[in-house]
């Protein structure tokens, strides 16, 4: 057993693509790695079918949370190839017998160097993951029967992707945008100008009413960050 705090679970109402059926999804965050990365669990409140997004490490804690909620994981989704988001993916996928989807193939060099990333940050050695499916702009991914749109949003990492459900005004943005901050661009493959374009040309047009979960820290909305994020006030 791991020594972790009780899960904080929130309820999200998501509409199907036909917009005549509503699925109640639950979301929970399992903080993993010394970077306190938000490994996100999303699952159907009725069927318990769900996904794990960005299992960066601490696989035992993730498995404990899945068991606690009775979640039947169908796939693992990855936003980008940094170690705090992929470090536990290979082990978790093998344990659960599920595929890994994402990120964009532009992050393949990062993923192939995950062991070097572990050395760079003084982290334990990890297994290299191989995605079963690379994701591209305009693709969709299935999250408990709900189709999320894939947006390619490079800058923090070349192959970073965002998952967006337009009918419900909800997104998973990884490390592109945070409450009061933006993704760092000083790591290999990072580029500040590209990140700003991704935020302003991909995320801002989604609408101010879009709520998002991110890779670190609390949730926010596009509108709140457009209005008050100090890194976006130019």
Arithmetic mean of pLDDT, 16-24: 58
Arithmetic mean of pLDDT, 4-30: 66
Going along the chain from its start, the domains and CATH numbers come out as 9-232 (3.60.15.10)
Arithmetic mean of pLDDT, 82-87: 96
Arithmetic mean of pLDDT, 216-230: 97
* In contact, 103 and 78? CB cutoff 8 Å: yes
Percent of the chain beyond pLDDT 70? 91
pLDDT at 124: 86
pLDDT at 131: 98
Max Cα–Cα distance, the chain, nearest Å: 50
């Amino acid at each position: 057993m791991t020594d972790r705090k009780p899960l904080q679970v929130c309820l999200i109402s998501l509409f199907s693509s036909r917009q005549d059926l509503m699925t109640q999804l639950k979301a929970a965050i399992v903080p993993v790695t010394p970077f306190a990365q938000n490994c996100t669990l999303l699952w159907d409140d009725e069927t318990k079918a769900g996904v794990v997004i960005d299992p960066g490490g601490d696989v035992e804690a993730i498995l404990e949370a899945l068991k606690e909620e009775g979640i039947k994981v169908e796939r693992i989704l990855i936003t980008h190839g940094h170690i705090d988001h992929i470090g536990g993916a290979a082990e978790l996928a093998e344990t659960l017998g599920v595929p890994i989807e994402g990120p964009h193939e532009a992050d393949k060099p990062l993923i192939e160097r995950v062991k070097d990333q572990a050395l760079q940050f003084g982290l334990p050695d990890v297994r290299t993951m191989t995605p079963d499916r690379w994701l591209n702009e305009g693709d969709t991914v299935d999250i408990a029967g709900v189709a999320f749109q894939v947006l390619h949003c490079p800058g923090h990492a070349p192959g970073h992707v965002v998952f967006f459900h337009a009918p419900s005004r909800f997104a998973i943005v990884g490390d592109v945008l945070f409450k009061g901050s933006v993704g760092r661009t000083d790591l290999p493959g990072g580029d500040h100008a590209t990140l700003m374009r991704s935020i302003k040309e991909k995320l801002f047009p989604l609408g101010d009413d879009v709520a998002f979960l991110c890779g670190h820290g609390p949730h926010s909305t596009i509108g709140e960050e457009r209005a008050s994020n100090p890194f976006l006030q130019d």
